[in-house]
Structure 1
């Protein structure tokens, strides 16, 4: 089946602009951040008419076993198939530990059964330094030449100089990197996290 590509950069824009609505405070632990962000994308998928599942699984041929997906969106249309989902519309992984960056990519691009190859992929990954992005993006481009998904990778990195997080998004298709956009995450005066696109945030600082 021809890949059904979603406008993943538009999803990134929604993620940034709606982040304050997740009601995440400086008191929350990383598990709560993961839960709220995964739930956010689960809700987006449902609004778009997909069947969404948290902690779904797909078979990994190299591992020889099923592995969990943090979130999946499945396309259902009984007019075309009364038994099976038509395709895996989205596989999302969200990881807080920087040392699991390559493992996150491996999950998103694992060799699997035909019906489990995602048409779209979103990865949200914390990293220790922004310099690591170049290395990780090269891995993604190499793996996606085979998988040929529509890919959005969101990297989050703490900037100790400014007490902010740098949030950088990179959009890929099967041909390679197509677009990128940067944002800032910061705790507001009430102790809650919000995001703003870098150019908008810098404009307010001047």
Structure 2
């Protein structure tokens, strides 16, 4: 199955974030809903069968587990009874303490027809220091699953005093690319994102070059 350029998906996520109409008055549940809906709409426009809160078997736990979002490929030319593939499994998590659980969901041992071609994980983490540990876990698990994986971390950046959004793309050989953005409020109190190289960062002593 062909792989999408998931970094292009991240670029769309960043550039379209203001269109989600998320304001400072919205709670975490609304952020989760709007972001999942964004990727659900994207999947439908690309021609996939899209399901929110779908399920797949987790062989380690011996039961099915929910997927926040799933894109399934249907092609009657290939099969009249089964989906051709699970093309995307996406998880969106706001609770810091569930970062490992989120990765385990994306890379769980499952049935052959339910191994996702692509996975996307978007999650809040406690700090930037957590990234290396989580990325190593992704590399370990994806060496077996062999998906194209986009893992997005959102966390408070101490140096800039803004919310930073760091994305990492992995293939079965390991980490291939990374890109960073910031999430800010506009003058009306709505959230938008801009890439690190495009945002006017605050000048603080820790950012100055001597």
Same fold per TM (> 0.5)?
yes
* 1:153-186 alpha-carbon deviations (Å, 9 max, x no partner): 0000023564421000000000000000000001
Is the Cα–Cα contact under 8 Å of residues 160 and 201 in structure 2 kept in the other structure?
A: no
Is the Cα–Cα contact under 8 Å of residues 4 and 89 in structure 1 kept in the other structure?
A: no
Distance 1:182 1:160 in 2: 15
Equivalent residue number for residue 192 of structure 2: 194
Matched, 1:132 2:130: yes
Unaligned segments of structure 1, at least 5 residues: none
Secondary structure class of the residue paired with 1:200: coil
Q: How many residues in Structure 1 have an aligned counterpart in Structure 2?
A: 203
The partner residue of 1:115 within 113, 116, 119 is: 113
1:51 is displaced (CA, Å) by 0.6
1:204 is displaced (CA, Å) by 9.9
Equivalent residue number for residue 167 of structure 1: 165
Is the Cα–Cα contact under 8 Å of residues 102 and 121 in structure 2 kept in the other structure?
A: yes
* 1:19-56 alpha-carbon deviations (Å, 9 max, x no partner): 00000001100000000000000000011111110000
Is the Cα–Cα contact under 8 Å of residues 160 and 202 in structure 2 kept in the other structure?
A: no
Equivalent residue number for residue 54 of structure 1: 52
Unaligned segments of structure 2, at least 5 residues: 204-210
Distance 1:193 1:155 in 2: 17
TM-score normalized by the length of structure 1: 0.95
Q: How does 1:18-29 map to 2 (within 5 A)?
A: 18-29=16-27
Secondary structure class of the residue paired with 2:61: coil
Matched, 1:42 2:32: no
1:202 is displaced (CA, Å) by 3.3
TM-score normalized by the length of structure 2: 0.94
